[in-house]
Amino acid sequence: MSHLQYTAKSHHLQWNMKQLSTICHHFYCHYCPDSLKHRRNVSLSKVSDESLLVLLVLQAELGIKSQRRFHRICQLFFCGQMLERSRFNRRSKQLIWLVQLIRQAMNDQISPNAIAIVHSFPLPLCQPVRNFRSTIFEETADIGYNASKNLWFYGFKVNMLVTFSGYILNYVVTPASVHDIQVVDELLEGCQQSMILADLDYLSKELKNAWNRKAIAYGHLGDKIWMVQGSTMTGDY
């Protein structure tokens, strides 16, 4: 990396960090429990929880999937004030539940009248030719079929509940072979949106019966289904 490239990236990171610090400070102050803020010896931490939260959000924004690579970049730009990699990884994992609290608080601000969309997509871990030889995540990943792409793949499947604007309300990651029907209940848990659109793959006989019992209206729109929570209507349309 040349000096000019280093300077440009450094300025860009500083600008991003300033914005993210303001956002994360707000979330940390409002949603972090006092038991975490004022725990024993917290003032002796080399990097505060709030700063670590900023770094995790920055990693996501930069699209860096490898935590090892991101840690190396942080060491370059933060002049040796970074945690050792093992401690960085450990403390990052400890903050996952805080990120979930913040995400739930943000979900609560989305209007119940917003339309939500349920969809799934494959998360392959290797090329199809290596489906039966790959050993990455061999204890959890497996082989599944993606009908829209006519593709057998080894890895995971991601099911998401999002708004029209692309905001992620909830997600479930499963082995590739798990059918969409099996994750509907978990995906819609806590969903406050009244109108939800999804592929027909998500509709099972058991789900129809459950919706009928809860007086939830649903119907078909081409190859999609729609449902309206809190309605007194039932049946297919």
Max CA distance (Å), the chain? 66
DSSP state for residue 183 in the 8-state scheme: G
Average pLDDT value for residue range 117-125: 92
Matching residue, tokens 């499947």: 157
Query: Which contiguous run of DSSP H or E holds residue 138?
Result: none
Instruction: Kindly indicate the confidence band of residue 216, based on its pLDDT and cuts at 50, 70 and 90.
Output: low
Q: Are the C-beta atoms of residues 195 and 116 closer than 8 Å to each other?
A: yes
pLDDT tens, position by position, 50-82: 888 888 888 887 788 888 888 888 877 665 577
Q: Which of the residue ranges 72-81, 148-157, 195-204 would you say has the lowest mean pLDDT?
A: 72-81
> In the prediction, which pLDDT does 235 show?
35
Q: What share of the chain is helix, strand, coil (3-state, %, to 5)?
A: 45, 20, 35
Average pLDDT value for residue range 28-40: 84
What is the Cα 237 distance to its own chain's centre? 33
What is the overall mean pLDDT for the chain? 80
Other CB atoms within 10 A of residue 204 CB: 14
